[in-house]
Amino acid sequence: MGVIARVDDYLTRFLDHQHLPPNLDAAIRYSLLGGGKRVRPALAWFSAIACGGCGEASLPAGSAIEMVHAFSLIHDDLPAMDDDDMRRGRPTLHRHTNEAMAILAGDAMLSLAYEAVLTHPEPAIALHLCQELGLGTRRMIEGQVYDTLGGMPGSLSEIECVELIHRNKTGALLRASCRMGAISAGASEAALDAITRYSEAIGLQFQIIDDLLDVEGCSQALGKATGKDQAAGKKTYPGVLGVDQSKLLANQLGKAAGDALGELQAMSLGDTTHLRAMGEMLTNRSA
């Protein structure tokens, strides 16, 4: 069974144990198990392996982050936020059910995410995972606030604003994915430091490529509407730096990620090739 199937299986069994009201349960499964590339749980899984642990140990963390990611998409799609009708090629949750359910299902998923990390069998690790999940989630929400409601320090340049938004909005949860996978495997401080630098580089790279796809991509490949960033006047890398400079920066970040993995590999803890492959997959993502 591949990582995606393992994560879906874990999430399914986790939800089976919760005995939620059937309409809430259905709403959560619709959003959580309706496809998705499971990038974050895969990063957690392969970070655990790269730090000398087994992928299995990362499942509470990876599943929790996937729940936080899915909750954030549900709330982002709401009419008062991005007002999106489609997500992953299907109606968004508030279109499939209603706005009240989308608000409450998102709230429940955020709370369930903490319950999921607490299932890690090592208490000290469970506690550390909770702290990382809290920080990642909160920074993601801060990024969303900066992106949609402003409030950035007036002293920042335009490109610093874009970076601040993206490091929080997308980067914080990707960073948490890698760190929580490593923590799940009991990683040393040195290994966690290398994983963190890798995650910060690919996090920013991921968002730059997402911005580029929004400019260049087609909605069929993304499963959602494109060109919306520009239409909404949102600050993006290609909007500030231009397409070519943005591609160059994405490649530089890919190299920085590779360097961090090289350091980790030199520690001879575990196999880093999967993380390297994920970095390349993110770089080569295109419509």
Site residues for its own copies per CB under 8 A = 18, 20-24, 71-72, 75, 78, 80-81, 98-101, 103-104, 106-108, 110-112, 114-115, 118, 123-124, 126-127, 130-131, 133-135, 137-138, 141-142, 144-146, 148-152
Rounded-to-integer distance, Cα 241 and Cα 231, Å: 17
Smallest distance, its own copies to C-beta of residue 75, A = 6
Shorter beta-carbon distance to its own copies: residue 105 or 185: 105
Smallest distance, its own copies to C-beta of residue 114, A = 5
Return the residue matching tokens 């799609």: 77
Residues 6+ apart with CB under 8 A from 5: none
Contact 140, 68 (CB under 8 A): yes
Tokens of 73: 């998409």
Rounded-to-integer distance, Cα 88 and Cα 104, Å: 21
Smallest distance, its own copies to C-beta of residue 273, A = 34
Shorter beta-carbon distance to its own copies: residue 124 or 277: 124
Shorter beta-carbon distance to its own copies: residue 116 or 194: 116
Smallest distance, its own copies to C-beta of residue 163, A = 15
Tokens of 132: 């990382």
Shorter beta-carbon distance to its own copies: residue 81 or 218: 81
Smallest distance, its own copies to C-beta of residue 41, A = 19
Rounded-to-integer distance, Cα 102 and Cα 146, Å: 22
Smallest distance, its own copies to C-beta of residue 183, A = 14
Shorter beta-carbon distance to its own copies: residue 11 or 250: 11
Tokens of 26: 């259905």
Q: Let me know if 104 is exposed, middle or buried by CB neighbors in 10 A (0-12, 13-18, 19+).
A: middle
Ramachandran angles phi, psi of 86, nearest 5°: -125, 145
Shorter beta-carbon distance to its own copies: residue 130 or 243: 130
